[in-house]
Chain A
Amino acid sequence: GIQVEQSPPDLILQEGANSTLRCNFSDSVNNLQWFHQNPWGQLINLFYIPSGTKLNGRLSATTVATERYSLLYISSSQTTDSGVYFCAVERGSNYKLTFGKGTLLTVNP
C-alpha cells in the first residue's frame, strides 16, 4: 500500500514562531488532507489539497503532486496550535485515507 512519511516527528516552538511540516508519499494520489488533532483527541480537517496551494488564516498548505510531497505552513504560532498534525492520502477510488504518523507540535508561551 501507499506509504506516508511526515517530518519532523516532533517540533517545539515559542509562541510567535513560524514552522513548516512536511508530508512525503510514495505514489500518486487523488486526495490529500491535513488534520489537526488537539490535546483532547478531536481531529479537525484543515485542508483538502490534492494539488496546489490553499490559505486559511495563519495556515497554508502546498501540495506538489508530481514530486509527491505536501507542506503545511503555520505562521505566528499560538499555544492553541499545539497537538498532532496528520497528513492523509488516498489513491484510487476506495475512499480509504492512509494517514502518516503525524508531527507532534508543542507551542510554548
Chain B
Amino acid sequence: DTGVSQDPRHKITKRGQNVTFRCDPISEHNRLYWYRQTLGQGPEFLTYFQNEAQLEKSRLLSDRFSAERPKGSFSTLEIQRTEQGDSAMYLCASSSQGARSPLHFGNGTRLTVT
C-alpha cells in the first residue's frame, strides 16, 4: 500500500491554458474522489467515481472541467481555458467498497494560474 499518488505536485500555468492532473488511488480501492481546497477553507467536493463510472458531480465542476477514470484505475482531471479563480489545491482521495469507508487523500496538486 503506497498510498494515493498525485502528479504533478505543483503546476503554474498562464490563464487560458489547459492543464491535466493525474491521481493513482490505493490499488484495492474502487472509489475515487476529487476535491478542491482554497486557502483557509476546507476541501470542497468536485466529483466521485465508483470503478470507471462517474456517479456524482458538484455544481462547482463547470463545463471547463472534465474527469475520467478509464478502466477504473487511475483518474485524470482536466481544466480547459484556465482562469485565475481556478488557482487552488486539487486533492484526490480513494476509499474501499465497504459502506462509509474512510477516505485516504493524496498530497494534492497545487495549481497557480497567472
Contacts and interface: CB of A to CB of B under 8 A. Distances in A.
Interface of A: 4, 30-31, 33, 35, 40-45, 48, 50, 86, 88, 90, 94-102
A98 B91 CA distance: 14
B103 interface: yes
A11 to B, nearest CB: 16
Contact of B40 (A90, A96, A101): A101
27 contacts: A30-B100, A31-B100, A33-B102, A33-B103, A41-B89, A41-B108, A43-B91, A44-B105, A45-B102, A45-B103, A45-B105, A48-B100, A48-B101, A50-B100, A88-B42, A88-B43, A90-B100, A95-B31, A95-B33, A95-B55, A95-B56, A97-B43, A97-B103, A99-B42, A99-B43, A101-B40, A102-B42
Contacts of B41: 101
Interface of B: 31, 33, 40-45, 48, 50, 55-56, 58, 89, 91, 93, 100-105, 107-108, 110
Contacts of B33: 95
Most buried by A among B42, B45, B91: B42
A42 B100 contact: no
